[in-house]
Structure 1
């Protein structure tokens, strides 16, 4: 069995400077670049950048930041986490990531999803009532592009294509493309239908409850005679030198992020008890390297996954602490997880 791949994800959460005020978005993006370079140096397999269009997350164009990371790294794989395909153009998404693939000498990936926020729809002129149609048809077109040849396609959202070539093509092989799923059976089956790897976003509750989705995906592939494909998990977390330091350092920033989003969605404020329960029984991977490694290994065994991506930025955590988290993840957590799963 191949070794579990271990990656990191970030949305470029806007952090605070030494004076306690939010950093400019530009500085946050430059900080993410430094975190990615450190991830490459410490042996982390993948770095994923999420797309958002709001003031608490700095990254709205992941592919541009990934191109900058590609130019400064040697081995780490680079992707989105996720690209909101519903409000983008599939051809332009393919072109941007095939360009990152060229710059990085074949290290680009893309995770396509609907996203958990909807601000991109009015921003780019799309109606939320078309939510389902936009994603379904744009994914169908993107899947056709992955053949790396002339494309003939027809749908209801744009004029048809007839033997259309798209440049630049992927130089070698194909663009690794995942479908990001938040927990609907229909989305799981859709990923199997297009023969694309599945990325499960598990951001609350016990990770083991997603076993049914992993099993459904494998069954859907097997029933149509298709070979097994990778399954990944994306979950939030944070690593520090000790369990107590990790919990104390991340609670305030994580609560600030969670409460702001919660206020928009009608959720009650998060208390310390809820935070601690998510660490102990849920999907928050917070603690020392040993604690985080044990929890990742347990999730990997329970779900039979091929990759785990830790969303290591959770609110306005200072850049210096994020750098230490990246360092510990690469130098301590990854070797421990691999030993546990050996």
Structure 2
């Protein structure tokens, strides 16, 4: 069971002062957070790509590369790369470079993107939303599989027997598929034999168990070895010394972000009642003391089949020292308990 962090490198207004941290400062803070995550024994750190004022990470590979030479074992991934509006050749080259700097710790998490700002920014038509992803994923996998590439598609110039460099340390370079719970994307990931990441940020995580089963059936039908196909999730959350402290620290910025995005998407108002419901044992919010968060992650492994858990924090701007403390608690207290309990359970189950 792998435990890690994901972040969108938020730069929202501080809910108490109204001040907005600079993009540059927040990026430097994230590098420190990655270094700490490695130091306390976490397995993976993911940085998500966005192209809007309240998120500073439009170039995740650059941020991850800044941390790569300061870390030793933690895996470094996008979370996600908006592949539909990017060039697969450049995506591969950037993450192959990251793989070289980190000596084989880079991963790509490819997705369509739930935020669509990159499409007009790079000149893509949203009417081609699904077709773009399918075509570009095909090209990315072809580049991953062969140094010399021959390819033709409908949205990018053809490639005629050209080499793509540098080649990564890992062969193949890991490519995960990120999904918000769409059955079509889950089936595609399984059929292609690619690891799956589910964004579990609302409702009950148990609702995602049928999607994991669907993914595994698709993979098995395509002849892939299920033992080599991990399933990950990313969920919002925060670890504090006590559950009350964690909830009180995490709620204000969470409410701000959820209501800003909610107004864009037509969601209902997010209040403390919504927050407290979501952090119940069966909810999708992983907020509490180390024991509380650990028990919820263990429950997720047993009921949904998740083998990598990524805690998304912060959600909105929080004090850097609070984020660092949460990472320390996740690595030193939550992760060891989860790994120990999951290992015993898997042995009992013969997994």
Structure 1 vs Structure 2 CA RMSD: 1.3
* Maintained 8 Å contact 2:109/2:177: yes
Moved over 3 A (4+): 15-20
- Give the aligned partner of residue 242 of structure 1: 242
By how many angstroms is 1:258 displaced? 0.5
Distance 2:283 2:302 in 1: 16
- Give the aligned partner of residue 348 of structure 2: none
* Maintained 8 Å contact 2:240/2:329: yes
Distance 2:311 2:173 in 1: 22
Distance 2:250 2:9 in 1: 16
Distance 2:303 2:99 in 1: 33
Distance 2:171 2:24 in 1: 34
Instruction: Map residues 1-342 of structure 1 onto 2, 5 A cutoff.
Output: 4-14=1-11, 21-228=19-226, 229-280=229-280, 281-341=282-342, 342=344
* Maintained 8 Å contact 2:147/2:165: no
Distance 2:75 2:12 in 1: 25
Name the SS of the counterpart of 1:74 in structure 2. Answer: coil
* TM-score computed with the length of structure 1 as normaliser: 0.97
Structure 1 residues 25-82: Cα deviation after superposition (integer angstroms, max 9, x where no partner) = 1000000011111001000000000011111111110000011010111111101000
Structure 2, gaps ≥5 residues long: 345-351
By how many angstroms is 1:172 displaced? 3.8
Distance 2:300 2:84 in 1: 30
Distance 1:114 1:163 in 2: 27
Give the 3 Å change call, closer, same or farther, for CA 171–148 of structure 1 in structure 2.
Answer: farther
* Maintained 8 Å contact 1:15/1:319: no
* TM-score computed with the length of structure 2 as normaliser: 0.94
* Maintained 8 Å contact 1:16/1:317: no
* Maintained 8 Å contact 1:15/1:317: no
